[in-house]
């Protein structure tokens, strides 16, 4: 069966694309054959994975395709039967042809957003792109993922209202701001390798949700 393709995208830098992509690929990759595609010329996903030790390598294969531009989807299609899941980390630019290209073959687009008004306003561009690509790729589903949530109420009323104005829903799972997420990059692992139950739990719950969404696919 062809791999299910998850694209992590938002034009805003620093909202958690690479953190989300690497932890998803790390957790999913522990049980399934997974490929992580690095589409960002900065190569942070590639560097993240290569920081892993020989004893505990990153549990997904990694491929850098930042230079593939609008041909990225063709390149990825060559590997679609070799993996169960392909997770794609996108560059922080909506006009980048890489993002539009990979959305053409994606099953699910995940848009990490920091739940504050300015961050949410800047997600409008990516919403437009995803909505446009959906006309061609009828299998494409999309979800916002609230990242770097803080406090007892993960998302303020104002931010919830803004979130509800988007064309796509947010995931039920919110990802909290935790120092451990910064540490995961340094030693090339995912939440699975961290001694933090809350972080493990929230990613386990997010992965469950993602797998459920992918199971409702028309394909």
Ligand X SMILES: Nc1ncnc2c1ncn2[C@@H]1O[C@H](COP(=O)(O)OP(=O)(O)O)[C@@H](O)[C@H]1O
Which parts of this chain interact with ligand X (CB under 6 A)?
Answer: 13-19, 44, 92, 147-148, 175, 177-178, 181-182, 185
Q: Is 147 helix (H, G, I), strand (E, B) or coil?
A: coil
Strands 108-113 and 141-146: parallel
Residue 57 touches which of ligand X, Mg ion, none (Cβ within 5-8 Å per kind): none
- Residue 17 engages Mg ion in binding (rule: CB under 5 A): yes
Residue 34's nearest CA partner among 21, 47, 16, 18 is 21
Which one of Mg ion, ligand X, none interacts with residue 148, CB within 5 to 8 A by kind?
ligand X
Closest to ligand X by CB, 106 vs 199, is 199
In the structure encoding, which two tokens stand for residue 164, read together?
A: 């509800």
CB of 179 to ligand X, least distance (A): 6
Site size for Mg ion, by CB under 5 A? 3
**Smallest separation, CB 78 to ligand X (Å):** 25
User: Dihedral through CA 50, CA 54, CA 59, CA 62, nearest 10?
Assistant: 30
Question: Three-state DSSP class for 109?
Answer: strand
| Strand boundaries in 10-165, DSSP class E | 34-38, 61-64, 85-89, 108-113, 141-146
Site string for Mg ion, 36-65 (x = CB under 5 A): --------x---------------------
Q: Is 119 helix (H, G, I), strand (E, B) or coil?
A: helix
The least CB distance from residue 91 to Mg ion, in Å, is 8
Residues near Mg ion, by CB under 5 A:
17-18, 44
């Amino acid at each position: 069966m062809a791999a299910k393709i998850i694209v992590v995208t938002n034009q805003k830098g620093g909202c958690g694309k690479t953190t989300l992509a690497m932890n998803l690929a790390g957790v999913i990759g522990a049980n399934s054959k997974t490929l992580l595609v690095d589409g960002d010329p900065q190569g942070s996903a590639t560097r993240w994975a290569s920081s892993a030790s020989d004893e505990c390598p990153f549990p997904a294969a990694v491929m850098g395709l930042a230079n593939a531009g609008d041909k990225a989807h063709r390149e990825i299609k060559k590997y679609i039967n070799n993996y169960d899941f392909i997770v794609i980390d996108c560059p922080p630019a909506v006009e980048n042809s890489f993002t539009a290209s990979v959305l053409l073959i994606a099953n699910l687009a995940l848009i990490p957003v920091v739940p504050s008004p300015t961050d949410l306003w800047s997600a409008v561009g990516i919403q437009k792109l995803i909505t446009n690509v959906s006309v061609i790729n009828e299998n494409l589903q999309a979800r916002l993922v609230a990242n770097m949530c803080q406090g007892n109420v993960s998302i303020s009323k104002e931010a919830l209202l803004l979130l509800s104005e988007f064309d796509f829903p947010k995931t039920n799972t919110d990802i909290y701001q935790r120092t451990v997420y910064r540490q995961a990059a340094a030693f090339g692992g995912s939440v699975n390798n961290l001694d933090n139950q809350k972080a493990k739990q929230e990613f386990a719950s997010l992965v469950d949700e993602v797998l459920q969404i992918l199971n409702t696919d028309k394909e």
